[in-house]
Every structure is written in C-alpha cells, then in structure tokens.
A = this chain, B = another copy of it.
Amino acid sequence: MHKAIGIFDSGVGGLTVVKEIIRQLPGEDIVYFGDTARVPYGTKSARLVGRYAVQDAKFLMGCGIKLLVAACNTVSAIGWEELKREVPVPVVGVIEPGCAAAVKVSKTGKIGVIGTEATISSGIYPEVVSRLDSTVEVMCKACPLLVPLVEEGWLDGEVTGLVVRRYLSGLKGKVDTLIPGCTHYPLLRVVLEQEMGEETVVVDSAGAVAGCVKELLREKKLLAPSGGGGRNRYFVSDDREGFSRMARLFLGEEAIVVEEIDIEKY
C-alpha cells in the first residue's frame, strides 16, 4: 500500500494547495487536516503556532504519510524550525516555492508580497527572497481583510475591488511581480491581476507548491504508481459543516466527507 501526501492548515485555506496537487498529481492519495478549532494561527505567538503545527503533523503522521505540506503561511513563517525538527518525512512549506517562482519571473528585480498581518510582520518573505537572490528588492503589504472577504465568498465586485485597490496602491507600478502570500488569495487571483495591471505577474503560489511536491516525490522515488486512485480524506478539529460548506468554494467540488478529531490529544 502506498502512502498519502499529508497537508495541513489552520483552516480551509490550504485547500487551494490541495486543489493544485489533485490537478498536478491526480494519482496521489491526500490526507488533509484543517485545525478549525484553533483557527486562525496568524494572530498567535510563534511559540503557540510551533506547538500547534507539531500536533497537526503528529496526527497526519499517524495516518501514514510520505510527505508533509504545511499549507499555512503562518506555520511556514514562524513554526517552521520546530516542525522540521519533529517530523521524520520531507516537509514542504508554502513560502519558498512562491518566492522561487517570483525570483524566476521578475525582470526588474522588484517583487511585491501581500499576506496576513502575522506573515508580513514576520519578515519571512524578504528573508527567503534575499536568500535566493540578494539583489532583489521586496516590498510587503499586510492585507488583513482579504481572508474574511474570501470566506464571505465576495471574490469580486465593488467592495472587494476597493479593498484590494486600497491595499495594493503602494505596490502598483513599483513591482513587476506579486506573490499572493496567503493560501486564501488564489481565489482572488482575478481581482489581484486586474488591480495590479497587465505589467505585473501575479505568481501562482499554490501551483508552485504543488510543483515543488511533485519534484520532491520524483526525486525521492516516492511517486504513487500511475493509475492509482487518488483517494482524498479530510479531517478537522471542529465544525465539520462549516468546513464542508467552505470547501465547496475552495475546491469547486460538490460535497466532501469530513471527519472530526480531537487535536489536543496529539
């Protein structure tokens, strides 16, 4: 029996990464955990986020996984070291793949990053980008309202356009590449592209993560045998109904089966 890809996030956001992994690796089994009892991580301290991430990983390890995706920007930013230390399988975060894609496409060497307050104030994006290419300049902007807008389902329209315009006003025209540094943001892709204009590339950050997973599995000879089923399981720590509802928005699929676990036990 081949093992699954484990993916976790504080809530539903990581489903944008699931969607891309399903698209790029249709034969792989996926186990997803959304920590809906303790969402959001973005407002919590590094110490707490690290502890939560390790618990989430332990639950998924128990499901039998060959690779772990921390599909949560907060964990990838401030819980990363602790997570890597505790997890025996390869771990992929959501920050480096997007940064690498951005560095690759940027011609002016000026990259913009948007994310939650916690992600931006962690300073992780400029740090990772400068590790990849120290000549690149990174401009960051925290956009706290974008996650609630996505979760309200207001993916376009006047309000969303105005909020995005207000947040992006300081970046527009100053960068040639924008990294949507939050797993919710792929759902705002159209508005982000509209507001940034044609001269700016909006990086497909979820796609970049999936590409990185594919590459790593191939390298480690862990790819599922072709023709495999692609069985997906979804777990949450609270509110199965709310998660299922939101999952339809994120996955664009009909009803999924969601199971509930007590994450404090891990």
| A residues in contact (CB < 8 Å) with B | 36-39, 43-45, 48, 144-145, 147-149, 151-152, 154, 158-159, 162-163, 166, 238-239, 242
Contacts and interface: CB of A to CB of B under 8 A. Distances in A.
Nearest to A163: B159
Contact of A239 (B43, B148, B239): B43
Given A148-B144, A148-B148, A239 B45 contact: yes
Contacts of A149: 145
A39 B44 CA distance: 9
In the complex, the 7 A-B pairs of residues with the closest C-beta atoms, listed nearest first: A148-B148, A144-B152, A159-B162, A44-B238, A45-B238, A145-B148, A45-B239
Contacts of A44: 36-37, 238-239
Contacts of A36: 43-44
Contacts of A39: 43
Contacts of A238: 43-45, 48
10 contacts: A36-B44, A45-B238, A45-B239, A145-B148, A145-B149, A145-B154, A147-B148, A148-B148, A159-B163, A162-B162
Chain A residues touching B, majority SS: loop
A48 B35 CA distance: 13
Contacts of A166: 159
Contacts of A145: 145, 148-149, 152, 154
Contacts of A148: 144-145, 147-148
A238 B46 CA distance: 10
A213 to B, nearest CB: 28
A144 B154 CA distance: 11
A144 B189 CA distance: 22
A177 B180 CA distance: 42
Contacts of A158: 162
A97 B196 CA distance: 47
A38 B44 CA distance: 9
A152 B148 CA distance: 12
Nearest to A38: B38
A242 to B, nearest CB: 6
A242 B159 contact: no
A261 to B, nearest CB: 13
